[in-house]
Amino acid sequence: MFARRQSALANHAGSPPSEGTKLNVRALLALLKKPPVAVAVAGLTFLGAASLLILAIGDPRAGTPTGRADVERPAPVERQPISGAEVFGMDTLGAYQDLTAPGDVDAPGGEAVITLPGSAQVLTGPVVRQAPAAPLAAAPIAGLSQPGPNGPLPVIATDGRTPFSAYARPFAPDGRPRVALIVGGLGLNAPATRAAIEALPPEVTLSFVPYAEGLQAWIDLARADGHEVLLELPMEPEDYPQNDTGPYTLLANSDIDELDRRLNWLLGRTTGYFGVTNYFGSAFIASDTSMTPFMQRLRSRGLAFIDDGQARNRQGAYGRASANRVVDEAQDAASILAALNALEATARANGQALGSGYGFAVTVATAVRWTQGLNDRGIQLAPASALVARSGVRRAS
């Protein structure tokens, strides 16, 4: 078909136009004189002229100001689940949001109303850094650790020295009633940790979270400022795992191998602590299956176990003590001060008393001001180790 058509076009290519194709000028002029046709031709002529003008000079809107913006939608932020380490932290209420950055930390400031036994007064002004105390011996001390699967593990030295006796803060009782305070939850929040180390008297015992990064550096800093330290051990609470205390939580009724694996990981995180303390643990402490071997292992390593009051009837470990009260269950200065005053009253009645609290800004600020007047009120501030009874005999009550 295409061949026949091409042949026909070739045959007509050189032929002159036929008579039917000759232009009839008179007929064309007569057609253009008709009004509808004239209007149509005029319109087409205008459009053609406009098109030629645009081609000749460009876009007539080229001089008009224009703008262009690339709009990008931000990618959706994927919310990560809260880790056990975050649950284990003590700053979930943002208590330190107004503190300065690490390296330029003043202790928490502001005004506090302090009611002392038998009197009432208002103390104002910032809480200032304590004068640096004589540093404690740097850790590790030779002979008190051995290599473990995840870090050095505390041991009793061949000459009988224990981590408890070597790392506890020296204390000389003077016959007055003694009161001790443990401030914990430290290591995860840098400003909070520095404030506790620098503002609290060196007799105050500090406890550290095992999940904290740079844990050894924090413990070294605390000991350099005169504070003895405890290592916090996460223990299974009644509502675990809804209340997640981290991936190395000591679990109630776990087998011995699993208990050892988790305990060795926790104890191997750092050195320089004289004992351990619980973080939560209602289910773990109630379990004979767990607590009996746990205490035996602490005893064999020369470590004390100081609890927040939940394990008051549990014996064992190399040394034992239980806190008389948690001083900051309510996180306001008046409630904390009332608890500290009650702790002081217990010391007067029983000869000694032990309190525990967390490193909240209000706790640190209130405790600093409370401790400043203890000596004048006839109370001796003591490190927690001074209230520990050896061979599992509980002395705090």
Please give the backbone phi and psi of residue 230, each rounded to the nearest 5 degrees, phi first.
-115, 155
Among residues 361, 147, 118, 381, the alpha carbon closest in space to that of 271 is found at 147
pTM: 0.70
Residue 327 tokens, joined: 């001083």
- Dihedrals phi, psi of 297, to nearest 5 degrees: -70, -35
CB neighbour burial string for 220-236, b if at least 16 within 10 angstroms, e if fewer: bbbbebbbbbbbbbbbb
**What is the C-alpha separation between 249 and 153, in angstroms, rounded?**
18
Say whether the peptide bond before residue 140 is cis (omega within 30 degrees of 0): yes
SS3 238: coil
Superfamily of domain 84-390: Glycoside hydrolase/deacetylase (3.20.20.370)
CB of 279 closer than 8 Å to CB of 84: no
Peptide bond into 173 cis (omega under 30): no
User: Could you list the pLDDT tens digit for every one of the 397 residues in the chain?
Assistant: 333 333 333 333 333 334 444 445 455 555 555 665 555 556 555 555 555 545 445 554 544 444 454 545 445 444 343 333 343 444 433 433 333 233 333 333 444 444 333 333 334 345 556 666 799 999 999 999 999 999 999 999 999 999 999 999 999 999 999 999 999 999 999 999 999 999 999 999 999 999 999 999 999 999 999 999 999 999 999 999 999 999 999 999 899 999 999 999 999 999 999 999 999 999 999 999 999 999 999 999 999 999 999 999 898 899 999 999 999 999 999 999 999 999 999 999 999 999 999 999 999 999 999 999 999 999 999 999 999 998 643 443 3
